[in-house]
Chain A
């Protein structure tokens, strides 16, 4: 018995060590960026900053926060996320309810249309041409519509609606409630967890989408936050290339404050997600375990 006990402890020590290593690998890259954002310029350029700030200062962060381009990009993203999520939730909830009723006539056809749309996209060029023809390029609506409505989220919500007990809705109908009233008064209040989850999925999707901006927006004033970051990174990566000097490195060629400012921009851009994430984590996890895979 004593030997079993000892083995068990050794296993646990090795196991905890491996798991802590996992956690460290996740955290250290983030800590490197945070450390650089708060370090003095000198140590950053000299490559002395590892995972803790050297010559701590907050001026770089303050500088980023006062940049008009950054503030503008930030507010564009906030606006797009709010409007986009609202439209997306309206479309998704409305469509998920009828599709969750097996008795709905023509349900199969509608489901096939949605599955087809999920699996087959016309592609980058036809979409771009459509957006240009509708005069949506270089408007905020290009950012809103290109992220709106995910069939995947529609199916998660539909599966959740299917799992609700039919009896409550049935009694509402006997009392004379229409389908619409049943949806808004009975079904949605019963589905708050899935609605919270899908709202979060959409918001994160809008917040994180940089390609919509890259594809549809060239007006500097309309660039969302992620496109601002994309420009920052590609500029950093391509400076070296432009010189044709491959032996040089990205950061050494950038101007002195380059890496400092970039690190601070990444940190500030992530701050909002970092602040809300711990409180919302359980809703995200729920989204994966509810109905993402059909039984």
Chain B
């Protein structure tokens, strides 16, 4: 270690220049597409005029400073506040109702000793993860429409038809369910792998001591899974500002803006719909700063509690 550090960098570089060469394409790419746009963030503090210069990007330089005006403005807007509230409500609903299901699913599936059954069920439940949100939204629009299977069944059972995609009182539940439908199976993989990594001798020993399946689940599988569960929960909570932009943008419509408009969709409509680029940037910046803080905190909490981290 010491010997390496003492070598002059130039001779090290001469022998290993190709290692740095390998990094160049990726560095150029993120410079153009990730770092340069960072300058565009100043839009949040400016009054943007897209045509102040030759290109929209150069116009950012030319536009006059506006201070914190846009940030003060957005906090006076009720649609921004409702988007912020919706983001948190939808995220929390998803955590409460979806997060535990993959854990239960992995534990239950692990109890099945028939390998063919196990494999075929996994094949089925992992599939929706690979469908795009446009497809999944399409499936649910067909399923929940007035002539969809769900309404057909409701009517034949003597109930009224339900306007699932147009009704503020039920649309969030539709969002939670369809997100669960898409991701529950896939999320179970990590728990399934964790169960497979548990010490099999514990199960043997407990069987000799007369433990039944419930006791094995309660006293061996669940405690063994605890570190993974805690880690995943911390990561999930750290991502609370992401309530499902790709999902909501394709599934929502003006009748349910009240309950389903989240920060991401709000930014999209304000900036590309109403062309308020400065307001859109301000809201986006507000959101990504909170998200950054939460993710970094989540990572350090995870590191402290489980010794594992995301990066």
Instruction: Spell out A's residues near B (CB within 8 Å).
Output: 4, 7-8, 11-12, 15-16, 18-19, 22-23, 25-30, 32-33, 36, 44-51, 90-92, 94-95, 97-99, 101, 103-105, 110, 113-115, 117-130, 132-133, 145-146, 148-149, 154-155, 178-180, 183, 204, 207-211, 214-215, 226-227, 229-230, 232-234, 236-238, 240-241, 246-247, 249-252, 259, 262-263, 265-266, 269-270, 273-274, 277-278, 281, 284-285, 288-289, 293-295
Contacts and interface: CB of A to CB of B under 8 A. Distances in A.
Contact of B23 (A94, A215, A278): A94
B30 A113 contact: yes
Contacts, number: 311
Contacts of B155: 47
B95 interface: no
Interface stretch (B77-85, B198-206, B218-226, B266-274): B266-274
A208 B36 contact: no
Q: Which 4 A-B pairs have the closest CB atoms?
A: A126-B40, A208-B132, A249-B146, A123-B284
B22 A97 contact: yes
Given A118-B311, A123-B288, A28 B149 contact: yes
B105 interface: yes
A266 B284 contact: no
Interface in B223-269: 231, 245-246, 249-255, 264, 267-268
B4 interface: yes
A104 B16 contact: yes
Nearest to B194: A289
Contact of A119 (B214, B252, B296): B296
Contact of A214 (B19, B25, B56, B249): B249
Given A19-B112, A262-B138, A266-B142, A124 B189 contact: no
* B interface, over-half SS: helix
A250 B132 contact: no
Contact of A47 (B34, B147, B186, B295): B147
Nearest to A36: B142
B18 interface: yes
| Interface residue range, chain B | 35 or more
B96 interface: no
A149 B145 contact: no
Contacts of B132: 207-210, 226, 229
A23 B127 contact: no
29 contacts: A15-B112, A26-B181, A33-B142, A46-B147, A47-B155, A49-B147, A91-B25, A94-B26, A95-B26, A119-B292, A123-B285, A123-B288, A125-B43, A129-B43, A130-B36, A132-B55, A145-B33, A155-B311, A208-B134, A211-B246, A215-B272, A229-B135, A233-B250, A237-B141, A246-B255, A250-B141, A250-B145, A250-B146, A270-B135
Given A129-B37, A179-B16, A210 B181 contact: no
Contact of A105 (B12, B124, B125, B149): B12
Interface string B153-165: 1010000010101
A122 B40 contact: yes
Contacts of B295: 119
Contacts of B146: 47, 249-252
Contact of A23 (B22, B125, B212, B288): B125
